[in-house]
Amino acid sequence: MTDRLLGKVALVTGAASGIGRATATAYAAEGARVVLADLNTERAEQVAETIRADGGHAVAIGVDVTVSALVRRLVERTVAELGSIDVLFHSVADVPFVNTQDARLTELDEQVWDRMIRLFLTGTFLVCKHVGRQMLAQRGGSIVLVATTDALVGVAGLDAYTAAKGGVLALTRSFAAGMAPDGVRVNAICPSFVTTEPQLEWLANSESRALIDRLHLLPIPTPEQIAPLAVYLAADESDAVTGSTFPVDSGYLAFKANLDVMGAMRATEGHR
């Protein structure tokens, strides 16, 4: 263990898997006491047990970030048990829902739109609202939100998801401006395709893997390759950084490809 986050309390949402899991583990390895919040409490507790076995401090708490009262209770319990919230890393996602239900607006089911906005944008609002109030009381803190490169470029067939995540990026800038006088920083990480658990089965298909490889200059990043940036943004060494967006995308944004990603993904699914 090192001490870049020693003495800090970090709340990580979506901590049971993927980027949230990797970041919670990295925060604990850097000395933070970590609360792992997730809808899947059992899986979050498994991650917490692994962190504790490695000498870290971790607590798992169940939460649905789309319910304000549950988010408020999460914040209250975290402060009651650990004394503060110095870092928020918000990474809640439902990858299978996005991959199978999103569509062009003209074909998009309105219930899908509502759930996408509720989960990714309203959920971000609620977590930032309640954690932000605690950080205002402390006069300090770092908030790190997970958006996506798909909110920075057009991606056919992902209209609801990109709208929600585009809202997260706009919120990052405005919230950072509003919170800066009170010592709270707000930044966003924009990953591209990442080898999270929900994607592994799809990546095991050679056609699917070749499709995604064509969109990246470097190998597809792992969750563990996103976590170091999350550590930097949480640590005191990034005290001059706020309102910024950081792509971690293996070159995804660096070149063009004439490819209907979602259409191709679903076509390969149909051939399995």
CA distance 271 to 102: 20
Cα dihedral 74, 160, 166, 189, rounded to 10, equals: 60
Q: Is the pLDDT of residue 189 over 90?
A: yes
Weakest-pLDDT range from 82-86, 163-167, 197-201: 197-201
* Confidence at 209, pLDDT banded by 50, 70, 90: confident
Q: Is the pLDDT of residue 272 over 70?
A: no
* Confidence at 202, pLDDT banded by 50, 70, 90: confident
Strand partners, 12: 36, 89
For the segment 248-257, what is each residue's pLDDT rounded down to a tens digit?
Answer: 999 999 987 6
Residue type, 198: P
Tokens of residue 142, six digits = 């770092």
Strand partners, 145: 90, 188
pLDDT at 2 (0 to 100): 76
Q: Is the pLDDT of residue 261 over 90?
A: no
Contact 15, 44 (CB under 8 A): yes
Which residues are catalytically annotated?
161
For the segment 83-115, what is each residue's pLDDT rounded down to a tens digit?
Answer: 999 999 999 999 889 988 999 999 999 999 999
Tokens of residue 76, six digits = 């209250």
Three state DSSP letters for the chain? CCCCCCCCEEEEECCCCHHHHHHHHHHHHCCCEEEEEECCHHHHHHHHHHHHHCCCEEEEEECCCCCHHHHHHHHHHHHHHHCCCCEEEECCCCHHHHHHHCCCHHHCCHHHHHHHHHHHHHHHHHHHHHHHHHHHHHCCEEEEEECCHHHCCCCCCCHHHHHHHHHHHHHHHHHHHHHHHHCEEEEEEEECCCCCHHHHHHHCCHHHHHHHHCCCCCCCCCHHHHHHHHHHHHCHHHCCCCCCEEEECCCHHHCCCCCCHHHHHHHHHHCC
Ordered structural domains, the chain, with CATH: 9-270 (3.40.50.720)
Average pLDDT of the residues in 188-208: 83
Average pLDDT of the residues in 132-153: 97
The more confidently predicted of residues 198 and 184 is 184
Q: Is the pLDDT of residue 1 over 60?
A: no
Q: Is the pLDDT of residue 127 over 90?
A: yes
Contact 163, 207 (CB under 8 A): no
For the segment 5-57, what is each residue's pLDDT rounded down to a tens digit?
Answer: 999 999 999 999 999 999 999 999 999 999 999 999 999 999 999 999 999 99
* Confidence at 145, pLDDT banded by 50, 70, 90: very high
Query: How high is the mean pLDDT of the chain?
Result: 93
